[in-house]
Amino acid sequence: MANPVTNLRVEDKLYQNRYLVDSGRPHIKVRPHEQPSANLVALTLVCPAKCYESNDKGQVEITADGCMECGTCRVLCEASGEIEWNYPRGGFGVLFKFG
């Protein structure tokens, strides 16, 4: 007999997560820049929550709502100072249902 939980796709499981927005206090910020580095641009492709986007000037922006705290952007861009990365304040951020 098929197990309805294990047969779910990853996307379906991620949909079960909930996110509590800390309004006005994003836990990740992108340093203002004119031209983004290759790593910063890469975040628009590799962030699993699609938090990063390029604006019409080619600059990379973040909307941290929905961040899963996977740390990928932290590894790629924190050391260079291109982003400021912190965990959300207690009680805010992602609430994993199947994590």
Give me 3's structure tokens: 């197990």
Sign of CA dihedral 41, 43, 46, 51: negative
Kindly state the smallest distance separating residue 36's Cβ from ligand SF4, in Å. 15
Residue with smaller CB distance to ligand SF4, 5 or 36: 36
CA dist list (Å): 40 to 56, 71, 91, 95: 15, 14, 28, 26
Strands 83-85 and 28-30, sheet pairing: antiparallel
Residues of this chain that interact with ligand SF4 (CB under 6 A) are 28, 47-49, 51, 67-73
Q: Give the shortest CB-3-to-ligand SF4 separation in angstroms.
A: 28
- Which one, 2 or 10, has the nearer CB to ligand SF4? 10
Q: Give whichever of 35 and 87 is closer to ligand SF4, judged by the CB atom.
A: 87
3-state SS string for 40-52? HHHHHHHCCCCCE
User: Please, what is the minimum distance in Å from the beta carbon of residue 66 to ligand SF4?
Assistant: 7
Q: Which is nearer to ligand SF4, 2 or 69 (CB)?
A: 69
